[in-house]
Each structure stands twice: as C-alpha cells, then as structure tokens.
Amino acid sequence: MLARVFSCAILGLDGVIVDVEVDLANGLPGVIIVGLPDTAVQESRERVQSAIQNSGLLFPRKHVRVNLAPAAVRKEGPSYDLPIALGILAASEQIPADVLTDALVVGELSLDGSVRHVRGVLPMAALAVEKGYHRILVPAADAAEAALIPELEVIPIQDLTQLCAALNGNFPIPPQQQEIKAEHPAWELTDFREVKGQEHVKRALEIAAAGGHNILMIGPPGAGKTLLARALPAILPSMTIAEALDVTRIYSVADLLPKDVPLIQTRPFRAPHHTISHAGLVGGGNWPHPGEISLAHRGVLFLDELPEFSKQVLEVLRQPLEDKMVTISRARGSLTFPANFQLVAAMNPCPCG
C-alpha cells in the first residue's frame, strides 16, 4: 500500500515542495528513508516509531520504504517526522488517504507523540499558497507565524493522537486565526532619550536615520559611541507590513524568531563581535544559511571597534553594501539573501585607546 503526503524543504529563504511517499511491503520489519536525507532525517525513523506507538496507534510490522522527492534536494532537519508518520498511518489505513491531498504538513515529533517547533514555517506557508494548497498543518507553537500568510487555512497540531482523531472525522481542529498585534516588540530598544548631551552626534544620527546613510563614529573611550549606536534603531521609521514579513522570513529560516513574536515589527539591530568569520557575516555553510548582514536586513548592522575586524571580513562587505543583497555560490548551486542594512561603525582614534 502506497501513501503520499506533501511537505516542504527550505533552500535559502524559499521553500521547495517535498513529496513524502511511503510504501508498505512484505518483508523484514524496518524503515528505510531515501531521497538525500541528512542525519536528522535518518533519525526520524526512531522518533516516528515511538511517537506512533506511544499515541495508541499501530506501527505496521512491515518493510516501510520512505522516499523524499525530488531526490536532488538535500533534506535536513527534523521537520519531516510528522509527514512520514502520517504517510505510515495512511498506508496502514489508520487514517483516510485522501484527506491530505491539498495540505502541506511539517512538524518534529517527540517520542510521546507531541509535535515540536520547526524552523522556516513562514516561507513554507507562503509556498503553500503559491502552489495552490489550501491548508498547512504545522506545530501549534508555529501556527501564529504561518497564519501571517492570508488565504491559507492553518491547522495547529498539538500531538499525533489529536491529529489522527481530526483526520478520521472526530474532533476537528479549529484553524488558527490571523492576528497582527502591534504591541509585541521583538526585542528591547535603547531609548534615544537616555543619551545626555552629544547634540551634534544625535543630529548626525537623525540625518543618517532619515536618509538611510551609513555612519562611522570616531571618539575616545567612554564617549558614548556604543550607546549612541544602540539608540539608533529607536528613531528609525517603523516597518511596513511587507518589510516586517521580509525580516520575519529571514529570522524564521535562521530559527531566531523570538518566542511568542510571530511577526518582527521592530527593526533589527545586529552587533557581531569582531572575531566573526566572513561566513558568519555574509552567510555560508554547505547549504548556505543567512549571515549577520541578512539578519540586519531593513535594520542596523553595528560594527563596534571597527579596526579589530579582520581585513578579509571587512572586504566581503563591499559588494553587499553596493547591491543590498548577497549571492553565495557553492558547488551545489548559488543562493541569494537580501542584505539591505544601514552600517554603523565605531572606533577609537588610536589602537592604544
């Protein structure tokens, strides 16, 4: 018996639909996962088996083959646990096979069957709408984030038992309502009023904030450079909803979205330490992840003690500062991340302080 559930992989900041095909065949009991899975996906067979058994459902004593298509896209992370479990339950006729044809499913399972948070839910929900899916099944913790995308039914899942009951027609789960609250700041900002005096620097910062200019502050230790830079985001214009969604998408993929803040509405302020590597700054990795310049998109990138940064790290900033985006090329392909940030740097006039 063959079952098919649709899930999603994240490549850069975009989603790719992944077909999770599950086949139950006679043979030695066991689970085989194919389709370029990484270690976390391979380990999902253990989580799925325990979760199904601990939810009072039956794990079939058959040879289970799971194929994640397209096979060329690398699948990473634990977000395929839930679709694999549903595929196994559908293939073993414990849930109807046709209820998931217009839905995307993502979620990590814990051994007791509860569904855990996964990263990148916002781009997944955006992809679901783009590809014509009507519903997305996500962990309850991520439902508010997915609900930011209009015209999509977001079903928050607590655990496998609850989901199976709903799919079998009992106890349907009410969809998550879309709500954008204005009063949720993602992080604390330093108030501009805390800066005493320094009228000329404040004026310079106001002009930089109004025009989106980059700024370099040079001054002796204790002059208040760090304080002034930290106060800059508070006087920047507030973000539009489109800008907020842009920023939230990056934080969602980087798994840095603060808890209980589905939409980031405060401009980011990133202040990486000067020991940062160039991959950490512009993004990198085998399958590239966004770096500090992309996390500072639509906000401020603050390089404190500028001369302490290595020359190579400062050189890699040139092109993103010009183009407002960065393209990272690897042997397997290239990805583009947005990097439209305002650069604020501070330094002492002399290395001795």
Ligand X SMILES: Nc1ncnc2c1ncn2[C@@H]1O[C@H](COP(=O)(O)OP(=O)(O)OP(=O)(O)O)[C@@H](O)[C@H]1O
Asked if 226 interacts with Mg ion (CB under 5 A), we say: yes
Q: Measured from the CB atom, is 17 or 228 closer to ligand X?
A: 228
Name the residue type at position 216.
L
Report how far apart, in Å, the C-alpha atoms of 253 and of each of 111, 289, 294, 336 are: 25, 8, 11, 14
Torsion of CA 61, 62, 63, 67, to 10 degrees: -100
Return the one option of ligand X, Mg ion, none that residue 227 interacts with (CB less than 5 to 8 A, by type): ligand X
| Axis-axis angle for helices 241-253, 121-130 (nearest 10) | 120
Q: Which is nearer to ligand X, 190 or 277 (CB)?
A: 190
Tell whether residue 54 is a contact of Mg ion (CB under 5 A).
no
User: Which tokens go with 187?
Assistant: 């992080």
Nearer residue to Mg ion within complex by CB, 250 or 303: 303
Q: How far does CA 342 lie from the centroid of its chain?
A: 22
For 144, half-sphere exposure in the C-beta direction (CA atoms, 13 angstrom radius) is: 14
Q: Which is nearer to ligand X, 110 or 198 (CB)?
A: 198
Indicate the residue among 59 and 302 with the shorter CB distance to ligand X.
302
219 binds, among ligand X, Mg ion, none (CB under 5 to 8 A by kind): ligand X
**In terms of CB distance, is 161 or 226 closer to Mg ion?**
226
Q: Is the dihedral of CA 238, 243, 245, 246 positive or negative?
A: negative
Span near Mg ion by CB under 5 A; candidates 145-153, 159-167, 204-212, 221-229: 221-229
Residue 346 Cβ vs Mg ion, minimum distance, rounded to whole Å? 6
Question: What strands, in cross-sheet order, belong to the sheet with 63-69?
Answer: 30-34, 63-69, 14-25, 2-11, 103-105, 135-139, 153-157
Q: Which does 197 bind (CB under 5 to 8 A by kind): Mg ion, ligand X, none?
A: ligand X
Q: Which two tokens stand for residue 14?
A: 């975009």
Q: How far is the CB of 66 from Mg ion (least distance, A)?
A: 53
Give contact residues for ligand X (rule: CB under 6 A): 194-198, 219, 221-227, 348
Least distance to ligand X, CB of residue 195, Å: 5
190 touching Mg ion, by CB under 5 A: no
Instruction: Specify whether the CB–CB gap between 105 and 124 falls below 8 A.
Output: no
| Residue 349 interacts with, from ligand X, Mg ion, none (CB under 5-8 Å by kind) | none
Footprint of Mg ion (CB under 5 A): 226
